[in-house]
Chain A
């Protein structure tokens, strides 16, 4: 049976539409020790602060919409275990709508601009499209990206340089490997700042879906050097 614990959470509160300065509000929450950060946030909303704005939907690490910063590190609130003491903040560097919810519309605009559907030179055959099973598996893994923006938030290159972010590299790589896609994705990756990546693998470490956007960047760079495109 699980133990009970009491955690202290400092939550960043701010309503940009009302002006004023952001402040941190302190809450104590008691629950089972397997609680996730999301459980703590939900408990705060249900028991202590009915006016708290926060976002979640699937609660099992699939929709990617509950990402927040816990003690300065971007995580999925539904996956991260609660800590005895934690500071919960909205995901940076995105504009805050209110409290813990950020505006992702610019992210969606970027996805749209990258044209991430296969640019087909001929129509789908209406029968199983020939894709090598191992490649299909690889494509699926790349497509498991949650678009949660944890990697973009953590990326030091995004903070310092003109770089769209790791998540976009992963999606571009997905298309670059897709046999039905006829577009050249390398120039797009370059345009999106692929060369700015430090290759530090922080995105790999923090990805809640256990993917490696850094590897996608490395694959693009190798392609740039050796000229090898599709496998």
Chain B
């Protein structure tokens, strides 16, 4: 067992800026979720409300979009990433000591897993 050395900070401009990546991903995933909810509400409305039936006809692309597997994968990734990263932020502010590098990769991995699982459902 060896003691941890201080970090070597001589290649700062070559590494990925994790904080920037996480922040951008958090915002994008949030946007995806909001857009999904809006689309979902719109879709349900035009399907269920007879008064809006005319609109349904005007949106022939909607079922096509809804049936794209990759869109579901993006959605699942976004939901899992956004939830876990948000929880991580909260936890650290309440005093939990979480390594920002490792936790980010774990969260990305988990979100990707959810996305792959969703994709697999369509492929199968």
Contacts and interface: CB of A to CB of B under 8 A. Distances in A.
Q: Does a CB–CB distance below 8 Å link A and B in the complex?
A: yes
Interface of A: 36, 70-73, 75, 79-81, 83, 86, 154, 156, 198-208, 210, 214, 218, 221-222, 225-226
Contact of A205 (B10, B19, B92): B19
Contact of B93 (A72, A156, A221): A221
Contacts of B7: 210
Contacts of B100: 200-201, 204-205, 214
Nearest to A200: B19
B10 A71 contact: no
Given A201-B100, A205-B17, A156 B94 contact: no
B20 A199 contact: no
Contacts of A202: 17-20
Given A200-B22, A201-B18, A225 B94 contact: yes
A156 to B, nearest CB: 6
B92 A199 contact: yes
Interface in B66-124: 89, 92-95, 100-101
B23 A198 contact: yes
A80 B23 contact: no
B2 interface: no
Given A222-B95, A225-B94, A200 B9 contact: no
Interface of B: 6-7, 9-15, 17-20, 22-23, 89, 92-95, 100-101
Nearest to A86: B13
B18 A205 contact: yes
Given A198-B23, A205-B100, 15 more contacts: A73-B13, A73-B17, A79-B9, A80-B11, A80-B12, A80-B13, A81-B10, A83-B13, A199-B89, A199-B92, A200-B19, A200-B22, A201-B100, A207-B9, A222-B94
A138 to B, nearest CB: 14
Nearest to A212: B100
B82 to A, nearest CB: 14
A204 to B, nearest CB: 6
19 contacts: A71-B13, A72-B13, A75-B13, A81-B10, A83-B14, A86-B13, A154-B17, A198-B23, A200-B19, A205-B17, A205-B18, A205-B19, A206-B17, A208-B9, A208-B12, A210-B9, A218-B92, A225-B93, A225-B94
Nearest to B15: A205
Contacts of A226: 95
